[in-house]
Amino acid sequence: MVLRELTALELGGAIKRGQVSIVEAAQAALDAVAARDGALNAFITVTGERALERAQQLQAGVKDADSPLYGVPMALKDNLCTRGVKTSCASKILGDFAPPYDAGAVERLARAGAVSLGKLNMDEFAMGSTSETSFYGPARNPWDLDRAPGGSSGGAAAAVAAGLGWYAIGSDTGGSIRQPASFCGVTGIKPTYGTVSRYGLIAYASSLDQIGPLCRDAADCAAVLDVLMGRDPRDATSLPGLRDSWSDSGPRVDYGHLLDGLTGDIRGRRIGLPTDCFGDGLDGAVRAAVMQAAEVLKGRGAELVELSFPVLPYAVPAYYIIACAEASSNLSRFDGVKYGWRAEKYDGLADLYRKTRTQGFGPEVKRRILLGTFVLSSGYYDAYYKKALQAKAVIKAAFDGAFQRCDLLLTPVAPTTAPRLGESLSDPLKMYLSDIYTVSVNLAGLPALSMPCGFDGKGLPIGAQLIGPHFGEGAILNAAHAFQLETDWHKRTPKGGDPA
Amino acid sequence: MNITAELVDYLAGLSRLEVQEGDRQAMTAELERILAYMDVLERLDTQGVEPMSHVFPVKNVLREDEVIPSQAREELLAGSPAPDGEAFLVPKTVE
Amino acid sequence: MTWETVIGLETHVELATKTKIFCGCTTQFGGAPNTHCCPVCTGMPGTLPVLNRRVLEFAVKAGLALNCSITRYGKFDRKNYFYPDLPKAYQISQLYLPIARDGAVPIHTDAGDKAIRIHELHMEEDAGKLVHDPWIDQTRADYNRCGVPLIEIVTEPDFRTADEVIAYLEQLKETLQYLGVSDCKMQEGSLRCDVNLSVRPLGSSELGTRTEMKNLSSFKAIARAIDYEARRQIERITEGKRVVQETRRWDENKDASYAMRSKEDAQDYRYFPEPDIPPIELSEAYLDGLRAGLPELAQAKRARYQADYGLPEYDCRMITSDKALAAFFEALVALGAPPKQGANWIMGEVLGALSARGLEPRDMKLTAPTLARLIALVSEGKLNRNTAVKVFEAVFDTDGDVDAYVKEHGLEQVNDDGLVREICAKVLAANPRSVADFRGGKDKAFGFLVGQVMRELKGKANPQAVNAILSQLLKG
| Residues ≥6 apart with Cβ < 8 Å to C459 | C384, C386, C387, C411
- Let me know whether C260 and C318 are in one domain: no
Whether residue C263 is predicted with pLDDT greater than 50 in this model: the reply is no
Per the CB < 8 A criterion, the answer to whether C232 and C207 are in contact is no
CA gap A74, A120 in Å, rounded: 10
> Which residue in chain A has the smallest CA separation from B89?
A337
Q: Among positive and negative, which fits the CA dihedral B79, B82, B87, B93?
A: negative
- Let me know whether C61 and C162 are in one domain: yes
Of C80, C84, C270, which has the smallest distance from its Cβ to A349's Cβ?
A: C84
DSSP for C47-100, written as a single string: ----EEHHHHHHHHHHHHHTTPEEPSEE--EEEE---TT-TTSEEEE-SSS-SE
Residues composing chain B: 95
pLDDT level of residue A249 (50, 70, 90 thresholds): low
Averaged over C64-80, what is the pLDDT? Answer: 96
Instruction: Please tell me the pTM assigned to this model.
Output: 0.90
Check C17 against B89: CB less than 8 A apart. no
CA gap A131, A138 in Å, rounded: 6
- Let me know whether C269 and C333 are in one domain: no
Helical packing angle, C162-179 and C53-65, nearest 10°: 130
Residue C359 lies in domain: 296-408
Where residue B48 falls (left for φ over 0; alpha for ψ -120 to 50; beta otherwise) is left
CA gap A71, A110 in Å, rounded: 10
Provide the CB-side half-sphere exposure for B24 (13 A, CA): 14
Whether residue A69 is predicted with pLDDT greater than 60 in this model: the reply is yes
CA gap C195, C184 in Å, rounded: 17
* DSSP at A415: S
**Is any Cβ of chain C less than 8 angstroms from the Cβ of B17?**
no
Cα of first residue to Cα of last residue in chain A, in angstroms, is 18
* pLDDT tens-digit map of A442-477: 999 999 999 999 999 999 999 999 999 999 999 999
Using alpha carbons only, give the angle C260, C266, C271 rounded to the nearest 5 degrees: 115
Number of domains into which chain C is organized: 3
**Is any Cβ of chain A less than 8 angstroms from the Cβ of C263?**
no
Averaged over A64-73, what is the pLDDT? Answer: 95
CA gap B11, A478 in Å, rounded: 47
- B17: nearest Cα among C156, A368, C290: A368
* pLDDT tens-digit map of A335-386: 999 999 999 999 999 999 999 999 999 999 999 999 999 999 989 999 999 9
CA gap A453, A293 in Å, rounded: 6
Active site annotation includes A67: no
Q: Annotated catalytic residue: which of A91, A116, A129, A176? A: A176
Check B37 against A350: CB less than 8 A apart. no
* pLDDT tens-digit map of B7-18: 999 999 999 999
- Let me know whether C430 and C305 are in one domain: no
CB atoms within 10 A of CB C443: 8
The structural architecture, per CATH, of the domain A3-269+468-491 is Alpha-Beta Complex (3.90)
- Structure confidence at residue C16 (pLDDT): 96
DSSP for C330-367, written as a single string: HHHHHTT--HHHHHHHIIIIIHHHHHHHT--GGG----
Whether residue C441 is predicted with pLDDT greater than 90 in this model: the reply is no
Indicate the average pLDDT of chain C: 91
* Helix, strand or coil, per DSSP, at residue C446: helix
- A327: nearest Cα among C240, C212, C90, C325: C90
- Let me know whether C403 and C443 are in one domain: no
Question: With pLDDT > 70 as the criterion, what percentage of chain A qualifies?
Answer: 98
Active site annotation includes A430: no
Indicate the burial class of B51 (C-beta count within 10 angstroms; 0-12, 13-18, 19 or more): middle
CB atoms within 10 A of CB A238: 25
> Which residue in chain C has the smallest CA separation from A81?
C46
- The shortest C-alpha distance from C122 to chain B (Å) reads 16
> To the nearest 5 percent, what fractions of chain A are helix, strand and coil?
40, 15, 45
In a domain, C40, yes or no: yes
Helical packing angle, A22-40 and A8-16, nearest 10°: 150
* pLDDT tens-digit map of C119-133: 999 999 999 999 999
- Let me know whether C232 and C366 are in one domain: no
Per the CB < 8 A criterion, the answer to whether A147 and A81 are in contact is no
* pLDDT tens-digit map of C80-121: 999 999 999 999 999 999 999 999 999 989 989 999 999 999
Per the CB < 8 A criterion, the answer to whether C309 and C346 are in contact is no
Check A444 against B75: CB less than 8 A apart. no
CA gap A88, A125 in Å, rounded: 9
- Structure confidence at residue C265 (pLDDT): 45
pLDDT level of residue C455 (50, 70, 90 thresholds): confident
Active site annotation includes A366: no
Per the CB < 8 A criterion, the answer to whether A127 and C78 are in contact is no
In a domain, C218, yes or no: yes
- β-strands A408-412, A461-467: how paired? antiparallel
CA gap C159, C172 in Å, rounded: 14
- Let me know whether C403 and C437 are in one domain: no
- Let me know whether C314 and C281 are in one domain: no
Containing H/E element for C393? helix C385-396
Averaged over C205-217, what is the pLDDT? Answer: 89
* pLDDT tens-digit map of A270-310: 999 999 999 989 999 999 999 999 999 999 999 999 999 99
Any chains having at least 3 CB pairs less than 8 A from chain A are B, C
CA gap A1, B69 in Å, rounded: 49
Q: What is the ipTM of this complex?
A: 0.96
Q: Identify residue B70 by its one-letter amino acid code.
A: S
* Helix, strand or coil, per DSSP, at residue A42: coil
**Is any Cβ of chain A less than 8 angstroms from the Cβ of C50?**
yes
pLDDT level of residue A331 (50, 70, 90 thresholds): very high
- CA distances for A97 relative to A88, A334, C45, angstroms: 7, 11, 10
Better pLDDT: A242 or A164: A164
CA gap C80, C360 in Å, rounded: 39
- Structure confidence at residue C451 (pLDDT): 87
Q: Annotated catalytic residue: which of A116, A152, A171, A197? A: A152
- Structure confidence at residue B20 (pLDDT): 86
Per the CB < 8 A criterion, the answer to whether C143 and B70 are in contact is no
Provide the CB-side half-sphere exposure for C186 (13 A, CA): 17
Of B27, B42, B80, which has the smallest distance from its Cβ to A338's Cβ?
A: B80
In a domain, C290, yes or no: no
Query: A with B: how many residue pairs have Cβ under 8 Å apart?
Result: 171
Indicate the burial class of C179 (C-beta count within 10 angstroms; 0-12, 13-18, 19 or more): buried
Averaged over A132-155, what is the pLDDT? Answer: 97
Q: Identify residue C331 by its one-letter amino acid code.
A: A
Indicate the average pLDDT of chain A: 96
Of A98, A369, A377, which has the smallest distance from its Cβ to B79's Cβ?
A: A98
Q: Which residues of B touch A377 (CB under 8 A)?
A: 10-11, 14
Cα of first residue to Cα of last residue in chain B, in angstroms, is 37
> Which residue in chain C has the smallest CA separation from A89?
C45
Mutate to test the interface with A, among B10, B16, B56, B80 (most CBs of A within 10 A): B16
- Structure confidence at residue A247 (pLDDT): 53
Q: What does the CA dihedral C40, C43, C47, C52 come to, rounded to 10 degrees?
A: 40
* DSSP at A386: I
In a domain, C291, yes or no: no
- Structure confidence at residue C264 (pLDDT): 44
- β-strands C129-133, A210-215: how paired? unpaired
- Structure confidence at residue C253 (pLDDT): 87
pLDDT level of residue C425 (50, 70, 90 thresholds): confident
> Which residue in chain B has the smallest CA separation from C250?
B95
DSSP for B22-62, written as a single string: HHHHHHHHHHHHHHHHHGGGGGS--TTPPP-S-SS-----E
Per-domain boundaries in chain B = 5-43
Per-domain boundaries in chain A = 3-269+468-491
* pLDDT tens-digit map of B53-88: 999 888 999 999 999 999 999 999 999 998 788 999
Q: Which residues of A touch C84 (CB under 8 A)?
A: 337, 349
CA gap C229, C225 in Å, rounded: 6
- The shortest C-alpha distance from C136 to chain B (Å) reads 10
- Let me know whether C131 and C210 are in one domain: yes
- CA distances for A26 relative to A121, A164, A233, angstroms: 20, 10, 32
Q: In chain A, positions 272-311, which contact chain B (CB-CB < 8 Å)? A: 311
User: Could you write out the three-class secondary structure of C214-226?
Assistant: EEECCHHHHHHHH
Check A337 against B52: CB less than 8 A apart. no
Any chains having at least 3 CB pairs less than 8 A from chain C are A, B
CB atoms within 10 A of CB C162: 20
Q: Identify residue C240 by its one-letter amino acid code.
A: G
In a domain, C31, yes or no: yes
Provide the CB-side half-sphere exposure for C89 (13 A, CA): 21
* pLDDT tens-digit map of C366-422: 999 999 999 998 888 788 888 899 899 999 999 999 888 888 887 777 777 788 888
CA gap C227, C235 in Å, rounded: 12
Check C89 against A332: CB less than 8 A apart. yes
Q: Identify residue A52 by its one-letter amino acid code.
A: L
* DSSP at A491: G
* pLDDT tens-digit map of A206-225: 999 999 999 999 999 999 99
Per the CB < 8 A criterion, the answer to whether C229 and C208 are in contact is no
Where residue C175 falls (left for φ over 0; alpha for ψ -120 to 50; beta otherwise) is alpha
- Let me know whether C363 and C253 are in one domain: no
- Let me know whether C438 and C344 are in one domain: no
Helical packing angle, C368-379 and C323-334, nearest 10°: 50
